[in-house]
Amino acid sequence: MLTSPISSVLLPFWLDVSNHANAIRLHCRPVYLTCTAARSRSSSFTWSSGGGTFELTGAALNKALQYAPTNGMPELTKWLSALQKKMHAPSGNESLSHDILITPGSQDGLCKIFEMILNPGDSIVLEEPSYPGTLAGLRPFDLKYISVETDGGGMRVDSLERAMSKWSPADALNPASDIPKLIYLQPSSSNPTGVAIAPERRLPILQIAKKYDMLVIEDDPYYYLNFAKEFPRSFLSLDNDGRVLRLDSFSKVLSSGLRLGFVTGPKPLVDRVALHLQVSSMHCSSLSQTLAFQLLNQWGVDGFLAHARGVADFYRSQCEHMLAAANKHLKGLADWNVPTGGMFLWLKARGIADTFGLISEKALAKQVVLVPGNAFYADDAAPSPFLRASFSSVSPAQMDEPAPAFVARRDSAVTTRGGAGAKLNAFDSTASGRLCLSLCCCWSVGDSRSAASTSPTYADFVRLCCSYFYAWMSRLVVGLAVVRSRC
């Protein structure tokens, strides 16, 4: 029996997570849980400028309330096949057979792919930085991470070549080799960097994957949020030997609440992923699939693409406002690349080795919610000078109109910074203090508070959550004890 560090509750052996090697854990820096969600702007979930309605009655309603095939409702998978053929038709191998699997969000499809392919101790190639949801899903496998550097053009081909040079192509035929089985990447407006893999890099990356016989997991939820008028060719469209599994999502362009994603790839692989879905959630919500099909069928493929373009235009406008605010408030304090799409601005702080303290202690106390760079690396205990800001749901006015208290502090900082012993009123005069001050001026959220008021700290939030958790756990343990005594 174990004693909780926060209370005197005794926990049985089987309730201690350390005894379950593959359990997903809350990390030691739980601030990530409050910051990593990329909320889509609800106003982007619209039918069209003219609106529209539809009704579910009779046979259609009965079907929506019943079980569905694991791969998805046939009418919806047929519609998606037409979309994928238009956007990602592979070239060079007409005999290559692709299939589609609808999943409860693309994240679920991603986890099912990992379950299918990976074993504990395997190696995997990742972009650095990478999506934290992927890192969390991979952590129970205890993998060896082969990190590949990125820049303003996404994954660097030379870095990938160096990373793979320790193996020979023949190692792919040796079951005992630790050569990576797959490359994971987000090619379009990556989370967190906001940049896309340059078109001229995509085929060389695919050729390296072919050389070492690796699968390519093309996780592309921001594909339709591309700010350019033309879509770059996807890895799926370049694949002529069946090694790309592509994940798409409706969360960013239709509704995140529908929980609809879909996997496209070679039929033998998709069939195996479907088996993993079949023994877990069985299939994606029939009601969600029916609602989506009614909408998509009314639009048609071209109508959907027109809608997606409107959503991308909205986020491009948001991005422009965010960049204007960053240029106004953060010049000289941070550096950044201009996003090619998506919802995020990835910043590198000048003169700060690790942004975790800046965000968890200073910015959060002033109601500025950002994500520290550590969250996006396989080694998230290492210091990182980066941070991620999201422009998805904040208004342009909020981006550039700070709370009154922050304005006074910023102006005070401007007038006192010149002296040798100058101090900022609200923060210290270090690079961390100056950057946090500017961030508060740029992206303050919630109601403005007076300087004398006290905001709850994140530690208070964690303590509150822990108290509720252990109260619930104590009831569970007592309940189990009662059941055992009665048996």
The encoded tokens of residue 191 equal 């989370």
pLDDT, tens digit (0-9, with 9 covering 90-100), for 274-325: 999 988 888 888 898 999 999 999 999 999 999 999 999 999 999 999 999 9
Side chain identity at residue 302, one-letter code: D
| Cβ-contact 288, 143 below 8 angstroms | no
Q: Give me the torsion for CA of 319, 322, 323, 325, rounded to 10°.
A: 160
pLDDT, tens digit (0-9, with 9 covering 90-100), for 180-227: 999 999 999 999 999 999 999 999 999 999 999 999 999 999 999 999
Q: What residue segments make up the domains of the chain, in order of their start? A: 2-35+311-460, 68-299
How far apart are the C-alpha atoms of 175 and 167, rounded to whole Å?
13
The encoded tokens of residue 17 equal 């997570």
CA 75 to centroid of chain Cα atoms: 29
This prediction's pTM: 0.76
How far apart are the C-alpha atoms of 2 and 487, rounded to whole Å?
23
Q: In DSSP terms, which residues pair with 148 in a beta bridge?
A: 127
The encoded tokens of residue 169 equal 């192509």
> Helix or strand or coil: residue 185?
strand
Question: What CATH class has 68-299?
Answer: alpha beta
What CATH number labels 2-35+311-460? 3.90.1150.10
Q: Which residues contact 168 (CB under 8 A, 6 or more apart)?
A: none
The encoded tokens of residue 57 equal 């009655």
pLDDT, tens digit (0-9, with 9 covering 90-100), for 235-281: 999 998 899 999 999 999 988 888 999 999 999 999 999 999 988 88
Q: What pLDDT score does 208 carry? A: 98
